Amino acid sequence: MTVKTALITGITGQDGSYLAELLLEKGYTVHGIVRRASTFTTCRIDHLYQDPHDPEARLFLHYGDLTDGSRVAGLLERVQPDEVYHLAAQSHVRVSFDEPLFTADTTALGTTRLLEAIRNTGLPCRFYQASSSEMFGASPPPQHEGTAFHPRSPYGVAKVYAYWITRNYREAYGLYAVNGILFNHESPRRGPTFVTRKVAMAAARIKAGLQDNLYLGNLDARRDWGYAAEYVEAMWLMLQQDSPDDYVIATGTSYSVRDFVEHCFTHVGLDWRDHVRFDERYLRPAEVDDLVGDTSKAARVLGWQARVHTPELAGLMIDAELQALLGKGEVTVPVVPPPTHPLARR
């Protein structure tokens, strides 16, 4: 068991929750930054919560916001982490068109605030930046570490900035700072406005007779969808190497939004054409048409490769939705068996 200390920004998000689980399993002490809201936002990590008065406690939460550089610096000084996983961001592509300045402040400049804090404290900690395949945007697939960036959204542009500032601090100040260029990764913990979770939730509710239709935008876009619980293992591996570098993490396969919809509806014995309707509100001013990651480098150096592919992912997500409906008493008869994939429990 290691006795390292990690600091996670975005610990309340999808990836933050899986990463916190993984690091606690590995024996780390984990500190997470949580932004204050009028309601609790910790539902994804409530199962990990430990009373901080317990001498055995290894998970600690602190209020903080990426827009407040002095707070971020103060926390870094106090926690003295060995590893910093920077996952916090305004992460929704469609929302970034509505809120480009907030997205830039949080997703781009938030990264600089953290890197500056590390540089100024002089801590010898390792830094992980949550970079994104959205940076490749219009560059044709397959995309790898050397593919040119051509972002298509304010979010993608902000992530390109964050990518380069991370590399700049590595080159200029010798920081151990890496970019994980992760392609879309999903799970039952995915935010409900991202397309996979939106589809899985709706298909389960339609099957249960709780709603009739699902409104979507562009069904032709293609994505390389993997399973989030596996992708956090790659984040950890990147910080365990002898020297810092950047890695693409993906499954290497691509499916259209239509394919994903079909997988979910077929899984519960429905024909998606009877229920899916078009709503132009879900279109974007500029779209990313096709993302497929080339993970040769991650396989060679990190020994990482995806085990769950998009069809199994769709199955485990929809099974989880049906289980959740059963748990809430909204469905009285199991519609499908409970999830059987071992990773579905994470």
114-173 positions binding ligand NAP, by CB under 6 A: 130, 132
Q: Amino acid identity, residue 124?
A: P
In angstroms, the CA 142 to CA 264 distance is 25
Q: Which is nearer to ligand G4F, 113 or 159 (CB)?
A: 159
The two structure tokens encoding residue 65: 């916001």
Residue 253 touching ligand NAP (CB under 6 A) = no
132 given a catalytic annotation = yes
223-252 positions binding ligand G4F, by CB under 6 A: 223
Q: What is the Cα gyration radius of the chain?
A: 20
Residue 216 touching ligand G4F (CB under 6 A) = yes
Task: Find the catalytic residue in 21, 83, 134, 321.
Answer: 134
* CB within 8 Å of 298: residues ≥ 6 apart: 234, 247, 248, 249, 304, 305
133 given a catalytic annotation = no
How far apart are CB 169 and ligand NAP at their closest, in Å?
17
In angstroms, the CA 8 to CA 62 distance is 10
How far apart are CB 343 and ligand NAP at their closest, in Å?
16
- Tell me the three state secondary structure of residue 104: helix
Cβ neighbourhood burial of 98 (10 Å; 0-12, 13-18, 19+): exposed
Residue 284 touching ligand G4F (CB under 6 A) = yes
* Residues in binding contact with ligand G4F, number by CB under 6 A: 22
What are the distances in angstroms from CA 343 to CA 40, 198, 224? Answer: 27, 21, 19
From residue 95 to residue 134, what is the string marking binding to ligand G4F with x (rule CB under 6 A)?
Answer: -------------------------------------xxx
Instruction: Write down the residue that tokens 């995309």 correspond to.
Output: 143
What are the distances in angstroms from CA 22 to CA 61, 87, 107, 155, 185? Answer: 16, 15, 24, 27, 16
Which one of ligand NAP, ligand G4F, none is in contact with 216 (Cβ closer than 5 to 8 A by kind)? ligand G4F
How far apart are CB 166 and ligand NAP at their closest, in Å?
12
In angstroms, the CA 32 to CA 28 distance is 12
Which residue in the set 30, 162, 195, 264 belongs to the binding site for ligand G4F (CB under 6 A)? 195
Phi, psi at 231, each rounded to 5°: -70, -30
Half-sphere exposure of 115 (CA within 13 A, CB side): 27
How far apart are CB 269 and ligand NAP at their closest, in Å?
28
How far apart are CB 159 and ligand G4F at their closest, in Å?
7
The two structure tokens encoding residue 228: 């989030």
Which residue in the set 69, 74, 100, 217 belongs to the binding site for ligand G4F (CB under 6 A)? 217
Residue 185 touching ligand NAP (CB under 6 A) = yes
Contact range with ligand NAP by CB under 6 A, out of 52-60, 62-70, 284-292, 296-304: 62-70
Contacting residues toward ligand G4F, per CB under 6 A: 91, 93-94, 132-134, 183-184, 193-195, 198, 216-218, 221, 223, 257, 282, 284, 287, 291
Residues labelled as active-site residues: 132, 134, 155
